[in-house]
Amino acid sequence: MATQSAQAHGYWRATLGLLAKILVIWFLVSFGAGILFADLLNGIKLGGYPLGFWFAHQGSIYVFIALIFFYAWKMGEIDRRFDVHED
């Protein structure tokens, strides 16, 4: 029974670790690039627009969508590693 408990603990540890990493990236992109570092990023142009402006309006959406797919892919790997996947 202790092995199953250890496996469950490892599963949740891996899941929460992935979630923490994704939330940090989400925060840095949405709040950091769009607000905190906007003045620094505005010196770089992307498609004729300042990069800080682009992140605040469109870039963060692209990053969020990429994070969704990355999360689904990594959770599939974690599920298979701990044998809780659905096939």
Segment 55-75, tens digit of pLDDT: 888 888 999 999 999 999 999
Distance CA 39, CA 34 (A): 9
Q: Which residue has the tokens 């496996």?
A: 7
Distance CA 75, CA 62 (A): 20
Strand locations in the chain (E): 45-46, 49-50
pTM of this structure: 0.81
**44-54 pLDDT per residue, tens:** 988 888 988 88
Share of the chain above pLDDT 90, in %: 47
